[in-house]
Amino acid sequence: MSADLPFLADILHLFQSGQSENRFLVGIIGAPASGKSYLAAKLPVLINRQLDAEIATSFAMDAYHYQNDFLLDQGIHPHKGCHFTFDVKGFTEKLVEIKEGNGDILCPIYDRSLHNPTPNGHQIKSSHRMVMVEGNYLLANIFPWNSLKYIFNYTLFIEVDPDIQYERLLDRHTSTGKSEKEAEAKIRRTDLPNAELIEKSKIRADYIFHPQANFK
């Protein structure tokens, strides 16, 4: 698989040539169903194998969704997943803690069975010197997201064919119990408008990745 990831050599070169004591953060950005989670999970495996050490791990922006109760209270639950339904302040603070910290760090995760974030579900170990951070809005040029770019050492944007993306979204939503009609409404209401916003941010990425059709 590493042969299909032309940016991997750049990431390893930057990491190995760096002099900072801070952790090396890689931002993985893309529209919903572009393959961010897949790539964020695979890259640490490849890097750890290549360097023969457990130095890489991952962390997801989804852990900073606002709780459903809050979204319902604010009347924005139907728009869950849009940029204004995340705790950007808390997410930014955690990224800085990860980058500047040297010890073990506990991080929240997004529990897809509960459809809510849960605290302390993931540990970034002191041995983890590189962290893949995946999320939709890491390069969004809107306040307050626009400051995040400067926390990352390297950013890559995944660009997929819109038809492939749509089919993946349809599969994702129907697999969680939505009817096809409900899934299509969710895609129109949140996923596609989000994708348009995210697409505009790709010019801020260090690398734009066009994966093969079976990449997800």
- Residue in 37, 29, 34 with CA at minimum distance from that of residue 165: 34
Instruction: Confirm if 138 and 149 have CB atoms less than 8 A apart.
Output: yes
Domain-located, residue 179? yes
Domain-located, residue 8? yes
| Domains held by the chain: number | 1
Which residue would you say has higher pLDDT here, 173 or 76? 76
Tens digit of pLDDT for each residue in 85-126? 999 999 999 999 999 998 999 999 999 888 899 999 999 999
Q: Is the pLDDT of residue 8 over 60?
A: yes
What percent of the chain stands above pLDDT 90? 68
Domain-located, residue 96? yes
Tens digit of pLDDT for each residue in 11-20? 999 999 877 7
pLDDT at position 87 is 97
Domain-located, residue 104? yes
Residue 211: partners with Cβ closer than 8 Å, 6 or more residues away: 4, 35, 158, 160
Domain-located, residue 215? no
Tens digit of pLDDT for each residue in 33-74? 888 999 999 999 999 999 999 999 999 999 999 999 999 999
- Residue in 49, 198, 84, 186 with CA at minimum distance from that of residue 137: 198
- From CA 114, how far away is CA 65, in angstroms rounded? 12
Domain-located, residue 214? no
Place of tokens 């990491």: 15
Domain-located, residue 120? yes
pLDDT band at residue 187 using 50, 70 and 90 as cut-offs: confident
Pure H helices in 82-190: 88-100, 162-175, 180-186
Tens digit of pLDDT for each residue in 156-175? 999 988 888 888 888 887 88
Token pair, residue 145, equals 């997201």
- Residue 96 structural domain: 2-209
Pure H helices in 29-161: 36-51, 68-73, 88-100
Indicate which CATH number applies to the domain containing 18: 3.40.50.300
* Amino acid code (one letter) for 43: L
CA–chain centroid gap for 192, Å, is 17
Domain-located, residue 69? yes
Q: Is the pTM above the cut of 0.95?
A: no
